[in-house]
Amino acid sequence: MRTQKLGGSELMVPVVAVGCMRIDGMERGAASRLIGTALEHGANFFDHADIYGAGRSEEVFADAVGMTPSVREGLILQSKCGIRPDLQTFDFSREHILASVDGILKRLRTEYLDVLLLHRPDALVEPEEVAAAFDQLEQEGKVRHFGVSNQHPRQIELLKKYVRQPLVANQLQLSITNATMITSGLNVNMENAEAVNRDGGVLDYCRLHDITVQPWSPFQFGFFEGVFIGHAKFPALNAKLDELAAKYGVSSTTVAMAWLLRHPARMQPVTGTTTPERLADCLRAADVTLTREEWYGLLIAAGNTLP
């Protein structure tokens, strides 16, 4: 597995992250096989969040991997906090961040996180409290790197005014069919719908400020409406995916993931599958480099238009 630096840090990470959102209902053996597949391919970066399975996903992971200090040394663990479904709120208060991390560490059976992300923006955020929480977590050795999720440039700038630590990642929804952060940049100064800037130019901002974009739901269309691979709604896209899959001797899943990796922003897509075979297909994308023509061909086949 190819590696790259995470944001402006010195932390070297696989170019594909393994998402653990859906493992909460897996039996130990099945979860162990999934994690084992990742590790066999050199994918040792695992993405969690305290709300995944109400914390159960982190527990299943720790049990499945047989967490010990020696096992922990070979893993890169990222988790997220800030969403409180029990209260229907977002919460970036110092108290909640600190309590959330303690819960995450307990469930993962580890003394530290490699990366902590703030999970979706909190309209009531007090950036001074975030800064105080980050300082304490860093000083206590509980978190080594920090980032955000689903935030636009001004929200990040507000945090950076107070937070000392570099923000190394921003996890955002992105796929061939959900590519507005790319297509709006292609339609600058146009009067069509594609020209609408919905995210404040977050892709270019992250590139300028050494923040790694981590695409989530890389195979979904809409907001969890379904997977576009093999879906009747996208015949042209699937025909193109199948064509390139045959050319490179891989699956359509691999090609769709390679599309994200081809972008020069050096993104780190996050998988979501619980099937070892499909996970292996995702990870093989690190070895496929699409041509410029193939990349644009997939963009257009997904229904995106060029000006």
Q: Provide the greatest CA pair distance for the chain.
A: 57
Any idea which residues carry the catalytic annotation?
A: 52
- Can you say how many angstroms the Cα of residue 133 is from the centroid of all Cα atoms in its chain? 23
Tokens of 282: 């995702």
Q: Give the other-Cβ count within 10 Å of 175's Cβ.
A: 21
Give the pairing type, strands 226-227 and 220-221: antiparallel
What's the rounded Cα separation, in Å, for the pair 243 and 254?
A: 12
Tokens of 130: 């975030």
What's the rounded Cα separation, in Å, for the pair 207 and 89?
A: 30
CB contact at 8 A, 130 and 159: yes
CB contact at 8 A, 16 and 286: yes
